[in-house]
Amino acid sequence: MGEFKVRKTIDEINEKIRRGEAVVVTAEEMVKIVKEVGPEEAAREVDVVTTGTFSPMCSSGAFINFGHTVPTIKAYRVWLNGVPAYAGLAAVDIYLGATEPVEDDPLNKVFPGEFRYGGGHVIHDLVAGKKVYLKAVAYGTHCYPRKEYEAEITLKDLPYAVLCNPRNAYQNYNCAINLSDKTIYTYMGILRPKAANANYATAGQLSPLLKDPYLKTIGIGTRIFLGGAKGYVIWAGTQHNMKVKRTEKGAPLTPGATLMVIGNLKEMDPRWIVGTSHLGYGCSLAVGLGIPIPILNEEVAMYAGLGDEDLFTQVVDYAYDYPNGIKRNYGIVSYAELKSGKIKVLDKEVPTVPISSYVRAKEIAEILKDWIKKGEMLLTEPVAPIPGADLFPFRSSG
Amino acid sequence: MFKKGLVLRFPAEIVDQPIVWRLVKDFDLSFNILKATILPGKEGIMVMELSGHPKNVSKGLQYLRDLGVEVKTVGQEIKRNEDLCIHCGACTAVCPTGALSVDRETMQVVFDPDRCSACELCVTACVVRAMEVRLEREAL
């Protein structure tokens, strides 16, 4: 690691955090610092950069054990507030997926469906301390004779409940337009015809994986902010892809890396775990997630200092191209342009619409900064890199 | 759920018919009667909220008009539930008047009720259902 002028280790940074001397800034502040003094000086000054994102994230859900009943039951089908959970795990273990609609939902039969209640809403209700109605049916065995069980449960009463999201924190995402002549209803929001609006879904310069684009500090075991509590990165997320087109500075131009994350549902806050309903598409869960980036050297500082004008995404048609798997884009735009309120597509000015909350992303980065400054959260050394990534050495200073 | 506040005026010759029942049965609508003066053989007036799928509501209203019922809408307003709004911006995709917009400095979603035409497009576009329809009570 001789090529770096600044070299820090996690141990050194943690020692500074314990002494209350660590310099912690948000990703937004880091952009300004790197612009003013350059990455080398920024790496000397700053120890930790905090990031954040708050957005509907499909591929989220919770593992729940609802406790053994007397007489015992081996649950075969389970519903929470009428939302089916997956019960094919063990006697009273279930997985509740965020996008599962309530059993009698009219779905898209009268189009566009509203999807007012689903797994994400149940998870939110649990975290908010509300009573949730559980129903289980079984076929009965010698060891588990009971065939039916109904109860009102609360998160507090559950023996075990963890949020375990197979794919969160997408590193970059498409900017969606609709080139057809009818309004379409997508997971990217409502897209009016003839490219009347362009929706985008990333917090740009605050977004965790855009600030460590090669995952050189974020790995398996990294402690993060998840749903208002401390959670962990446990693996790459589904659809994780490191081999994507990048800018000269390393920022991906398309959806890239993803993370699988876990955290104790019982410690979470309903402000950061919110059920969502997407017209004509389905239900989901908005998840608050933030990752601290240890500024180990000037290269990490350079990446963490990438601003909205350095981060780009592609404009994709969701009326024809996306559903038909056609890999085509209608231009590359920067997050600075997207945040300005309009972009140029096909020689036309198109208003932009964020569907990820920048305001809440910033709040998460601030909370994380506060936790670290107060010594309530120390940084972690990953136990292994995310598949396809190479971590910087964390212990060795030389 | 689409909701409309209505003032209905029934001509004397049809007040004996179970009209509201037909709205429920044939058009899958739900209702909330706020005020009603209907007497046999006389013109009747009813103030009600009618809710259901937008297509069904408009079919129901057409049914009423075909019967000779005079249909007027009560003024309604859109309110934002500040506790629920997450300031994402999704609603700005559909707002036709610019009442919902993004403050480019803070990236907060700003709601200006004075510019709102109460078209209700934001109600279902909002993923956390923070936009709520309320009848202007003084109009009743």
Q: Is the pLDDT of residue A102 over 70?
A: yes
Among A107, A124, A335, A355, the strongest candidate for a mutation testing the B interface, having the largest count of B CBs within 10 A, is: A355
Residue A49 or B12, more confident: A49
CB A163 within 8 A of CB A286: no
Scanning every residue of chain A, which has its alpha carbon at the shortest distance from the alpha carbon of B92?
Answer: A353
pLDDT digits (tens, 9 = 90+) for A290-321: 999 999 999 999 999 999 999 999 999 999 99
pLDDT digits (tens, 9 = 90+) for B73-124: 887 789 999 999 999 999 999 999 999 999 999 999 999 998 988 888 999 9
- What tokens does A35 get? 């612009």
Tell me what the mean pLDDT of segment A318-331 comes to: 98
Q: How would you classify the pairing of strands A223-226 and A282-290?
A: antiparallel
- Listed by start position, the domains of chain B span 2-73, 77-134
Band of the pLDDT at A397, cuts 50, 70, 90?
low
Q: Determine, yes or no, domain membership for A216.
A: yes
Tell me what the mean pLDDT of segment A5-9 comes to: 96
Band of the pLDDT at B138, cuts 50, 70, 90?
low
Tell me what the mean pLDDT of segment B44-51 comes to: 88
> Three-state SS for A345?
strand
Band of the pLDDT at A2, cuts 50, 70, 90?
low
Of chain A, the percentage scoring pLDDT greater than 70 comes to 99
- For A8, A83, A84, A95, A268, the CA distances from A135, given in Å and listed in that order, are 53, 10, 9, 14, 24
- What tokens does B134 get? 């309320």
Q: Which of A190, A339, A359 sits opposite B87 (nearest CB)?
A: A359
State yes or no: is A143 an active-site residue.
yes
Q: Is the pLDDT of residue A345 over 60?
A: yes
Scanning every residue of chain A, which has its alpha carbon at the shortest distance from the alpha carbon of B98?
Answer: A351
Write the CB contacts of B118 (distance below 8 Å, at least 6 apart in sequence).
B75, B76, B77, B78, B133
CATH assignment of B2-73? Answer: 3.30.70.260
CB A387 within 8 A of CB A236: yes
Least confident segment among A21-30, A352-361, B114-123: B114-123
**Which residues partner with A77 through β-bridges?**
A137
B104–A339 CB contact, under 8 Å: yes
pLDDT digits (tens, 9 = 90+) for A228-259: 999 999 999 999 999 999 999 999 999 999 99
Least confident segment among A70-84, A213-227, A329-343, B46-60: B46-60
Of chain B, the percentage scoring pLDDT greater than 90 comes to 53
Tell me what the mean pLDDT of segment A217-236 comes to: 98
Q: List the one residue out of A339, A291, A334 whose CA is nearest residue A313.
A: A334
Instruction: Supply the mean pLDDT for chain A.
Output: 97
Q: Note the ipTM here.
A: 0.95
- Which domain, by its residues, includes A180? 10-57+164-391
Band of the pLDDT at A398, cuts 50, 70, 90?
very low
CB B131 within 8 A of CB B122: yes
Per-residue pLDDT, B137: 62
Scanning every residue of chain A, which has its alpha carbon at the shortest distance from the alpha carbon of B108?
Answer: A359
A355–B88 CB contact, under 8 Å: yes
Distance, in angstroms, between A189 CA and closest chain B CA? 7
Band of the pLDDT at A10, cuts 50, 70, 90?
very high
Over its C-alpha atoms, chain B yields an Rg (Å, rounded) of: 18
Per-residue pLDDT, A281: 98
Q: Determine, yes or no, domain membership for A132.
A: no
Neighbours of A213 (CB within 10 A): 24
Output DSSP code: residue B121. H
Per-position b or e across A164-202, b if 16+ CB within 10 A of its CB: bbbbbbbbbbbbbbbbeeebbbbbbbbbbeebebbbbbb
What is the C-alpha separation between B116 and B99, in angstroms, rounded?
A: 5
Write the CB contacts of A382 (distance below 8 Å, at least 6 apart in sequence).
A217, A218, A219, A220, A221, A222, A233, A391, A394
Q: Taking CB atoms and an 8 Å cutoff, what residues of chain B touch A279?
A: 124-125
Q: Which of B55, B106, B127 sits opposite A276 (nearest CB)?
A: B127
Q: Is the pLDDT of residue B2 over 90?
A: no
Q: Which CATH class is domain B77-134?
A: alpha beta
- For A228, B56, B87, B140, the CA distances from A127, given in Å and listed in that order, are 11, 36, 21, 40
Q: Where are the alpha helices (DSSP H) in chain B?
A: 19-27, 54-67, 121-125
Q: Does B53 touch chain A (CB under 8 A)?
A: yes
Q: How would you classify the pairing of strands B131-135 and A53-56?
A: unpaired
Among B88, B94, B111, the strongest candidate for a mutation testing the A interface, having the largest count of A CBs within 10 A, is: B88
Q: Which of A116, A277, A354 sits opposite B89 (nearest CB)?
A: A354
Q: Determine, yes or no, domain membership for A154.
A: no
**Which residues partner with B47 through β-bridges?**
B7, B35
Per-residue pLDDT, A44: 98
Q: List the one residue out of A391, A166, A55 whose CA is nearest residue B87.
A: A55
Chain centre to alpha carbon of residue A355: 13
Intrachain domains B2-73 and B77-134 with the same fold: yes
Write the CB contacts of B34 (distance below 8 Å, at least 6 apart in sequence).
B47, B48, B49, B140
Number of domains into which chain A is organized: 1
> Three-state SS for B15?
coil
pLDDT digits (tens, 9 = 90+) for A127-178: 999 999 999 999 999 999 999 999 999 999 999 999 999 999 999 999 999 9
Query: What's the pTM value of the predicted model, to 2 decimals?
Result: 0.89
A191–B93 CB contact, under 8 Å: yes
